[in-house]
Homo-oligomer: A and B are copies of this chain.
Amino acid sequence: MSRRQQLLDIAGGLFAERGFKNTTVRDIADAAGILSGSLYHHFDSKESIVDELLSTFQRDLFATYDRILAEQPDTAGRIDAIVRASFDAIDQHHNEVAIFQNDAAYLMGFERFAYLREHNRRFRRMWVGLLAEGTASGALRADLDPELTYRFIRDTVWVAVRWYRPGADVAAQTVADQYLAILLQGIAAPKE
């Protein structure tokens, strides 16, 4: 792993744990065993570090979603796979998900991070589309507001990054199983 990548990992861990604003460049340098000035040989600013972490993550995540939607033809399979891929992201890219959840609202205030808004737009469009598909086919109950249901699902999935710890006793896909069990029964059209 390149020195640059090592430093990205170290910074990502600190940003995820304490937040972007609460992590100083001295904290990052200390954790890497160098002095703060040396960091600027690798990155031109603290913002550049978090930018590289978030933009890479956003690109990879939507590539995964696009692949799923291309492979899965039916709505139920799509919802299942998208939720599972999201929990997998919490497991495999924990730092980036945590930073996005905790600091994206703050970072979006800067022109440089305007691209993060595209993340939210795409995610919303995808889910509202999936819910519309399900309602049209009769698989999903029709008495729910699509916008509120989308927010319910979005928040439910991503907020798990607050307590889930990779490599702990509970596996990410076990959490996905349970969440899907509640969610799918909760939004399904009732059997008459």
Q: Which residues of A come within 8 Å of B, CB atoms?
A: 18-19, 21-22, 102, 106, 143-145, 148-149, 151-152, 155-156, 159-160, 162-163, 170, 175, 178-179, 181-188, 190-191
Contact = CB atoms under 8 A, between A and B. Distances in A.
B179 A152 contact: yes
A160 B153 CA distance: 11
A187 B160 CA distance: 18
A156 B179 CA distance: 11
Contact of A187 (B106, B155, B182): B182
Given A159-B159, A191-B191, A152 B182 contact: yes
A24 to B, nearest CB: 12
A22 B106 contact: yes
Contacts of A170: 148
Q: Which of A102, A145, A182, A188 has the most CB of B within 10 A?
A: A182
A106 B178 contact: no
Contact of A182 (B149, B160, B181): B149
Given A148-B178, A155-B159, 8 more contacts: A102-B102, A151-B160, A151-B163, A155-B155, A156-B159, A182-B183, A182-B186, A183-B186
